[in-house]
Amino acid sequence: MTAERPKNIFLCSCDDTMPLDAETVRRGCRGAEVKTATQLCRAELERFRAAAARNEPLIVGCAQEAPLFGETAGANSDLTFVNVRETAGWSEQAGAAGPKMAALIAAAAEPQPDVAFVSVTSEGVALVYGRDERAIEAGNLLKEHLDVTVLLSRPGDVPPPRVRDFPVAKGTIRSGTGRLGAFDIVVDDFALATPSAREALTFAPARDGAKSHCDIVLDISGNPPLFALPDLREGYVRADPGDPAAVLRAVLKARDLVGTFDKPRYIVFSENLCAHSRSRIVGCRRCLDLCPTGAIAPDGDHVAIDATICAGCGECAAACPTGAAAYALPPADALMRRLRALLTVFRECGGNDPIVLFHDSEHGTELIDALARYGTGLPANVLPLAVNAVTQIGLEALAAAFAYGAAAVRLLVRGKPRHDLAGLRQTIGLTTPILDALGFSAPALIETDDPDALASALATTELRAVTPRPATFLPIGGKREVMRSVLRALHGAAPNPIDVVALPPGAPFGTVEINVAGCTLCLACVAACPTGALGDDPERPLLRFTEDACVQCGLCKATCPEKVITLKPQLDFNSATAMSRVLKEEEPFHCIRCGKPFGVKSTIERVIGKLAGQHWMYPQGSKRLEALKMCEDCRVAVVADDDFDPHGAPPRPALRTTDDYLREREANKRAQDSEH
């Protein structure tokens, strides 16, 4: 199946600063009408206007002038802009970049699904947290726009304002929770300023544990930030009080945080797929351990994701083994389709040794632009693919790149990342042994803020032979379904298609091993398994395991009362088509009254052996002992017909009082006296 091809394409050489290979683009985008220009945004703008007036989908190989083209297009909103210049045309290897241009255009033509939004409302209640008169001055700048309160942490001699336009208090913030429109602040040593202050602010008696509810927090206190990763907490604006320019920028940013804002719902969460816990026993904690903003919290048997706090890093979705947390910007299948189009068209147009470069739209795009403007530009075989956050990339994306024919994969991240990259490193650590075993090269990070360092890293990228059998499958479905499709395709395209690959601890694939002798077939593990990997049979006592469904959450191991279960992480490429296997099976016990099979024979015989003659309720040959050998229906019938209490105890001894003991003692004494 071939990639969807765009129909109408406009390429511009940008005043002949880059060569255009229109013929190669036509070959890669078969059936498309490809037009070229020299100055489409100026001298030839009418050509664009005429093409847009046809009201058909149109791809323009320019991103810089997108606002102008969008305004000129009028009613035609079906426009797609591709940055061909910085990613391909402005390069020392621009003459060989025809296949790359065609691939970039084909990938951009892939439809992108709509993204849901969550609304956040801010009424403009602002807390300015500082330590001296600079906080009061910030309050003066904001008072016409926001409902301001100034809180001074351990203030010195601060001159009182001539006119008090807003409350001023002292105090030190103990803790803060929430987000834009809903911050909850706890303050110690809190006291309002007194109105009688003359030379310096004075305050009323202080108290601890005061609470504040506000929409915006402007922190220019110089104290440690109130939140982990403060740059990712919307509504919390922080600046160094010693940098006046930074303080002014923070004031201006806080001023604009009033109204209703729509932010993308980055994660689509399905509670029924979550493997966090069962019966208060915790299994999977991957997302909880990785979330940098604290947007994820336990909520019964699953977790809950606060979409208003989530910053969209995507580490939870990349690590989620069941697909309960799935990234939505874009979904996994949409990203795979772009990747498929990119590599398929590049190969069809004669491109060789493609290197896929995942990068984000902020840091990565700026670095690529700088390399194009001031350096050598990207090599002709480096195919950049912009995503919202590089940390959203999971095993399925990395594996799909190689299945579709990549020679190498690199992930461009900041030299000084905004948050921990532990999740991304774990993903690479999981992917590397799989690719190594199958004969592919390992993916790697490029951690830099320097365009020259980016160029050097790409120039020294180790390439292995491209798969001789590149995949062409079209990914459809949720993350787990896409993952299965990708791994099957990767195995089919592998230079060394071995069937089983050992994986590191924590991998979301693997098998379960049990100590058969110690297992009693209580089936507690079956009840705990969230994916149905462990199952039973209503007709006979057995434990069944389906490896393709196992996500190695560990709930079976934690639940097992006999502690006989061991997890073994591995990837068996045959598990998707393999039948479930029986881990343990025993003969059922047959009811001595009706012959119906029930329970496990060895277990019931073991119980009877321990109770017979060893407990007052179960003397040898008693009806109670025989009742244990019956199914639940016969047991009830026998108890009712024979009119006996299966739990009845022997008669209790007569009640003895103090007088009884005294009489007995006197009788014993008289008996002893009579003997003498």
Residue 386 has pLDDT above 90, yes or no: yes
Which of 301-305, 543-547, 642-646, 659-663 has the lowest average pLDDT? Answer: 642-646
Q: Rounded to an integer, what distance in angstroms lies between the CA atom of residue 136 and that of residue 133?
A: 5
Query: Mean pLDDT over residues 575-590, rounded?
Result: 90
Residue length of the chain: 676
DSSP letters spanning 228-295 = SSGGGSTTEEE--TT-HHHHHHHHHHHHT--EEEEEE--EEE-GGG--SEETTEE---HHHHH-SS--
Count Cβ neighbours within 10 Å for each residue of 397-409 and write b for 16 or more, e otherwise.
bbbbbbbbbbbbb
Residue 47 has pLDDT above 90, yes or no: yes
Which of 82-91, 105-114, 459-468 tops mean pLDDT? 82-91
**Is 121 in contact with 100 (CB distance < 8 Å)?**
no
Q: Rounded to an integer, what distance in angstroms lies between the CA atom of residue 247 and that of residue 231?
A: 15
Q: What is the mean pLDDT of the chain?
A: 92
Of the two residues 331 and 358, the one the predictor is more confident about is: 358
Quick one: pLDDT at residue 465?
Answer: 72
Residue 1 has pLDDT above 60, yes or no: no
Given pLDDT bands bounded at 50, 70 and 90, which one contains residue 40?
Answer: very high
DSSP category for residue 194: P
Residue 5 has pLDDT above 60, yes or no: no
> CA–CA distance from 32 to each of 5, 40, 57, 78, 112 (Å)?
7, 19, 11, 16, 20
Given pLDDT bands bounded at 50, 70 and 90, which one contains residue 672?
Answer: confident
Which of 297-311, 475-489, 605-619 tops mean pLDDT? 297-311
The helix (H) or strand (E) run that includes residue 102 is: helix 98-108
Question: Under 8 Å CB-to-CB from 345, ≥6 apart: which residues?
Answer: 3, 28, 29, 99, 102, 103, 106, 107
Q: Rounded to an integer, what distance in angstroms lies between the CA atom of residue 223 and that of residue 221?
A: 5
Four-residue CA torsion sign, 390, 394, 396, 401: positive
The percentage of the chain sitting over the pLDDT mark of 70, rounded to a whole number, equals 98
Cα dihedral: 397, 399, 403, 405 (round 10): 70
Amino acid at 304: A
Given pLDDT bands bounded at 50, 70 and 90, which one contains residue 620?
Answer: confident
Q: Rounded to an integer, what distance in angstroms lies between the CA atom of residue 630 and that of residue 393?
A: 57
Residue 51 has pLDDT above 70, yes or no: yes
Quick one: pLDDT at residue 625?
Answer: 84
Residue 292 has pLDDT above 90, yes or no: yes
The 10s digit of each residue's pLDDT in 193-247 is 999 999 999 999 999 999 999 999 999 999 999 998 898 999 999 999 999 999 9
Quick one: pLDDT at residue 228?
Answer: 85
pTM: 0.87
The closest of 136, 147, 137 to 255, measured between CA atoms, is 147
* Structural domains of the chain ordered from first start: 8-113+334-471 (no CATH), 119-262 (3.50.50.60), 265-327 (3.30.70.20), 510-585 (3.30.70.3270)
Structure token digits, residue 104:
């970039």
Q: Name the residue with tokens 């910030």.
A: 138
DSSP category for residue 323: S
Four-residue CA torsion sign, 549, 552, 553, 555: positive
Of the two residues 167 and 639, the one the predictor is more confident about is: 167
Structure token digits, residue 543:
């434990």
Distance of CA 502 to the CA centre of its chain: 24
Quick one: pLDDT at residue 3?
Answer: 45
The helix (H) or strand (E) run that includes residue 668 is: helix 658-675
Residue 505: how many other CB atoms lie within 10 Å: 9
Residue 676 has pLDDT above 70, yes or no: no
The helix (H) or strand (E) run that includes residue 409 is: strand 408-413
Which of 72-81, 234-243, 433-442 has the lowest average pLDDT? Answer: 72-81
Residue 28 has pLDDT above 60, yes or no: yes
Q: Rounded to an integer, what distance in angstroms lies between the CA atom of residue 269 and that of residue 201?
A: 51
CB burial class (10 A; 0-12, 13-18, 19+) of residue 7?
A: middle
Amino acid at 331: P
> CA–CA distance from 437 to each of 461, 482, 502 (Å)?
19, 21, 9
The 10s digit of each residue's pLDDT in 244-270 is 999 999 999 999 999 999 999 999 999
